[in-house]
Amino acid sequence: MTQRSKAIYRDGKLELRNPCDLPQGAEVDVLIVSEGVIPPEETDPSRRRQLVAELVERMRAQPLSPAAPRLTRDDLHDRR
């Protein structure tokens, strides 16, 4: 069963904003997605351009094989 809810972090605990339909003591998996923006570690624009160029070059140097399997959405997402 999948339910989505927003939560607020207070005093070391996540407080759900909406009630959920779970039995007491139920264990759940939690994925935390922060809405805050993390600033880049490198702030110099010319250095950032250089880093992006290096990353693109490394990606081009190791392309995916044409014989690589084509993954479906179900292959990419954990479906339990």
pLDDT along the chain (80 residues), means of 10: 84 89 89 76 90 94 90 79
Supply angle C-alpha 55, 60, 64, rounded to 5: 115
pLDDT recorded at residue 37: 67
pLDDT given at position 33: 83
pLDDT score recorded for residue 43: 85
pTM of the model: 0.39
pLDDT at position 79: 64
pLDDT at site 31:
87
Which uninterrupted H or E stretch holds 8? strand 7-10
Supply the pLDDT for residue 57: 95
